[in-house]
């Protein structure tokens, strides 16, 4: 256990955290600060393999993130078996320079177009049927994080994979309990 002391303005806050929590807090800050500068339309292009579930909260308050990281880790643990049942651990995203994408998911391949918003650091993917899904995107080196509003991601996965209501309800209840919850994927190039 380590003691983390944060000085914010005139306020000194002290927390006792494990090394894993401390690592999570700093990696979240690095993703937010460095990833914002590195995330460009060009950095998104390539073949990205699923690595792990990712969970964050929309709040940018550092103290909220410190507590949110512990909650995020628990949510990721709950989401991981659901992602495994859906076959997401073998999924591959390909983003091409021409604004097209391909998602290989189990035995299905989905194609469509995407638009990268440089200011908001988001990708809006639109499939051949015209259904769009918007994700926040952060690229740091050979790692990309795609984060969707939890309810939107679960609805999309349910449609794509014909998920049973039991699998969908487990994550849907998480989305209802945590306002501003973002769920998605850590991808590796």
The beta-strand segments (E) located in the chain are: 2-8, 11-17, 46-57, 92-95, 100-105, 108-117, 122-127, 132-140, 143-149, 181-188
> What's the confidence (pLDDT) of residue 10?
40
Give residue-wise pLDDT tens across range 78-121.
888 878 877 888 899 999 999 999 999 878 888 999 999 999 99
Residue 129 pLDDT class (50, 70, 90 cuts): confident
CA 67 to CA 108: how far, in whole Å?
38
| CB neighbour list of residue 76: distance below 8 Å, 6 or more residues apart | 52, 53, 54, 55
Across 12-27, average pLDDT: 44
* DSSP character string of 73-99: HHHHHHHHHHHHHHTGGG-EEEE-TTS
| Cα-based angle 160, 164, 167 (whole degrees, multiple of 5) | 100
- CA distances for 1 relative to 28, 111, 162, angstroms: 19, 47, 44
| CB neighbour list of residue 37: distance below 8 Å, 6 or more residues apart | none
More confident residue, 63 or 115: 115
| Cβ–Cβ < 8 Å for 16, 1 | yes
For residue 81, the number of C-alpha atoms closer than 13 Å in the C-beta half-sphere is 6
Residue 23 pLDDT class (50, 70, 90 cuts): very low
> What's the confidence (pLDDT) of residue 46?
97
CA 167 to CA 141: how far, in whole Å?
33
Residue 185 pLDDT class (50, 70, 90 cuts): very high
> What's the confidence (pLDDT) of residue 15?
43
Residue in the block written with tokens 């994080």: 145
Give residue-wise pLDDT tens across range 148-160.
988 788 777 766 5
Residue 19 pLDDT class (50, 70, 90 cuts): very low
| Tokens at 27, concatenated | 């990696």
More confident residue, 34 or 155: 155
> What's the confidence (pLDDT) of residue 86?
78
Residue in the block written with tokens 């973002």: 182
CA 188 to CA 159: how far, in whole Å?
25
């Amino acid at each position: 256990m380590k003691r983390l002391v944060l000085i914010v303005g005139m306020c000194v806050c002290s927390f006792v955290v494990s090394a894993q929590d401390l690592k999570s807090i700093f990696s979240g800050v690095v993703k937010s600060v460095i990833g914002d500068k590195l995330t460009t339309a060009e950095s998104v292009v390539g073949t990205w393999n699923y690595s792990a579930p990712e969970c964050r909260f929309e709040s940018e308050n550092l103290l909220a993130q410190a507590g949110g990281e512990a909650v995020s880790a628990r949510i990721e643990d709950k989401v991981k078996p659901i992602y495994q049942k859906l076959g997401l651990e073998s999924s591959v995203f390909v983003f091409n320079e021409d604004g097209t994408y391909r998602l290989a998911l189990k035995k299905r391949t989905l194609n469509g177009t995407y638009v990268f918003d440089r200011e908001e650091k988001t990708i809006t993917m639109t499939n051949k049927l015209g259904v769009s899904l918007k994700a926040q995107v952060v690229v740091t080196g050979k790692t990309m994080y795609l984060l969707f509003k939890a309810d939107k991601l679960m609805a999309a996965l349910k449609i794509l994979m014909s998920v049973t209501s039991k699998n969908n309800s487990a994550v849907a209840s998480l989305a209802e309990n945590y306002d501003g919850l973002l769920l998605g994927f850590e991808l590796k190039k």
